[in-house]
Amino acid sequence: MTTIRLCHLYPAQMNFYADRGNIAVLARRLAWRGHQLEITESGPGHEPSADHELWYLGGGQDRDQTLVAGDLVDNKAPAMRAAADDGAAMLFVCGGIQLAGHSYIGVDGETLAGAGVLDLTTMAGPERLIGDLVIDAEIDGRTDTVVGYENHAGRTTLGVGCRPLGRVISGHGNDGTSGFEGAVRDRVIGTYLHGPLLPKNPWIADTLLGWAIEHRTGSTVELEPLPDELEAQARARAIARAGVER
């Protein structure tokens, strides 16, 4: 049995889009394979160590991001950057992707410094980008359809240090114009897809878990397949609701 250490950043403040559902999926998919998830909740004032194999930061409104941004930069960003550089797996969702970048300019014009884990910047636009979101995502050479829901005012621009998670098939994505969604560098994934993301997209969950186990053990792993019929049905319904034929 392998124990994967997950650092859940701001679970009380950044939990706007059923983000604990993503944590539950990670825990159960590990347990079904005989492994264990050990969760450290890292709230304001807590300085996490860089030795976690898996990191998660969920979504929040602008006021929530304002509350945690200073603490994120002062108490968590150094460990996050060190862990990312060392090959840890990370998932940043919605408000999380905005705070994982270099900066976020909110609707009130205030600039919040980010953790600098992802090479991107975000500025709030005049209208929110809302609705079902379907993308063709590519990770580790595999391309597959990924679904979720987006609700954000942010317009995110990627720098040269990361690439898009995928190309938008239906929805708005990072900025409503580029046709791209999310950001990826090394084993770090940022995305506006929530709802939550992982129950309908177990491939993403298993990718993160595989990365985390490899980081923990130093060995390449092949996760045994799980019966994902219900997950596939949920994903198919989300694709159909978005009006996409697949």
Statement: the pTM of the whole predicted model exceeds 0.95: yes
In a domain, 208, yes or no: yes
Does residue 109 fall inside a structural domain? yes
Read off the pLDDT of residues 43-52 as tens digits, 9 standing for 90 and up.
999 999 999 9
172 catalytic? Reply is no
Alpha helical stretches, state H, 86-228: 95-100, 202-217
Residue 231 lies in a domain: yes
Give the tens place of pLDDT for each residue, 175-213.
Answer: 999 999 999 999 999 999 998 899 999 999 999 999 999
Residue 152 annotated in active site: no
The one catalytic residue among 8, 94, 152, 162: 94
Total of domains in the chain:
1
CATH number at 52 reads: 3.40.50.880
Mean pLDDT, all residues of the chain: 95
Q: Which of 2-6, 63-67, 68-72 has the lowest mean pLDDT?
A: 63-67
Q: Is residue 60 part of a domain?
A: yes
CA distance 47 to 81: 13
Q: Is 94 left (phi over 0), alpha (psi -120 to 50) or beta?
A: left
pLDDT band at 1 (very low <50, low <70, confident <90, very high): confident
Judge whether residue 16 has pLDDT over 90.
no
Residue 213 lies in a domain: yes
Q: What is the pLDDT of residue 144?
A: 96
Amino acid at 175: D
- Residue range(s) defining the domain that contains residue 220: 3-241
Q: With respect to residue 186, please indicate whether it lies within any of the assigned structural domains.
A: yes
pLDDT 10s digits, 81-131: 999 999 999 999 999 999 999 999 988 889 999 999 999 999 999 999 999
Residue 102: phi, psi to the nearest 5? -80, -35
204 to 29, 69, 200: CA distances (angstroms): 12, 27, 9
Q: Is residue 149 part of a domain?
A: yes
Q: Is residue 246 part of a domain?
A: no
